[in-house]
Amino acid sequence: MASGIPYTPKPSTDIFTPYQTDIDRRQCKRIVPMKVLALGLGRTGTASLRVALKELGYTDTYHMMSASVENPPDCLCWQDAFAAKFEGKGKFGREEWDALFGHCQAICDWPAVAFAKELIEAYPEAKVIITTRDVDSWHSSVMKTVNWRANDPELKAIANFDWAAGLYYPMLRQFWKYFFYDDFENKGKQRFHDYYQEIRELVPPGQLLEYRVSSGWRPLCEYLGEPIPQIPFPRSNDTNNFVQRCRTQNRKQMMNVLLRALIVGVPVLATALSASFAYSKYLPKVALPTSAIFAAAS
């Protein structure tokens, strides 16, 4: 637990987000082999690639949504990884990666890209893919989506009260701080170029697929040695869908907070009132003049 942040269970009152599981990955082990490291930056088609890899049988395929939406306690492992790599606290190696990814045969999207070197070293048997796109269109897309989310004041406020948001938002801020130097708008494009060059230097020639999802199934399947599915290549997670999904998530988490406040707050108020009435029995009785009683009533 390099970050020092303890695991806390999902509140029973979080009924508006039933799709969010509560698995403490720190306690997990590897149960399937890791086969694919898709280390392209987010917003280069990684959501579509995740669906495609699942269609090819790589189940599960890890994605930022695995932590942000599906199992928020994953964020604790990511915080441990950030603390180990960027703050020199504790360790985060193959054992810890297996705990986080033990149920996965593939990885894609961020925050995994912040640990590309570590993952390549931890899983040398895995095939490496980098999804890419035009840097200008990529930057524009991230500005409207994940950069917006990393600076979303509504999410920041909810994170003070909601279980899932309280796990996700600090982790997202850590990623933005360490990977994009907390200045994506001005440094994002250069980081894009530097990152892809780093991957090309890390992976030997001939062992890396540089891939655009617009190319469809053929280059992906040929590289992985898989038959080409007889269905169209998936397209998902466009800009409008991303923003709407995040806003919907905010609303559901707000409802969780309100419900918990209602259920927890009413008994607390009732207890306080009961104690006040009980205490009042021991106060001296003071007779008020009739005129004062009518004045108070008015």
Q: In the chain, what percentage of residues exceed pLDDT 70?
A: 89
pLDDT tens figures, 13-36: 999 999 999 999 999 999 999 999
Entry pTM: 0.87
Mean pLDDT over each residue of the chain, to the nearest integer: 90
Least confident of 84-98, 143-157, 226-240: 226-240
pLDDT tens-digit profile of 265-282? 756 545 554 554 454 454
DSSP letters spanning 107-133: E-STTGGGGHHHHHHH-TTSEEEEE--
pLDDT class for 283, splitting at 50, 70, 90? very low
Query: Encoding tokens for residue 111?
Result: 């925050």
Q: Which residues 6+ apart lie within 8 Å of 225 measured at CB?
A: none
Distance, CA of 159 to CA of 253 (rounded, Å): 9
Residues in a beta bridge with 131: 211
pLDDT of 150 above 70? yes
Tell me: pLDDT of 290 over 70. Answer: no
**Once rounded to an integer, what is the mean pLDDT over residues 69-91?**
97
Predicted local distance difference test score (pLDDT) of residue 282: 47
Instruction: State whether residue 36 is helix, strand or coil.
Output: strand
pLDDT of residue 205: 79
Distance between CA atoms of residues 127 and 121, nearest Å: 12
- Residue 204 confidence class, pLDDT cut points 50, 70, 90: confident
Domains in the chain (CATH in brackets) are: 25-229 (3.40.50.300)
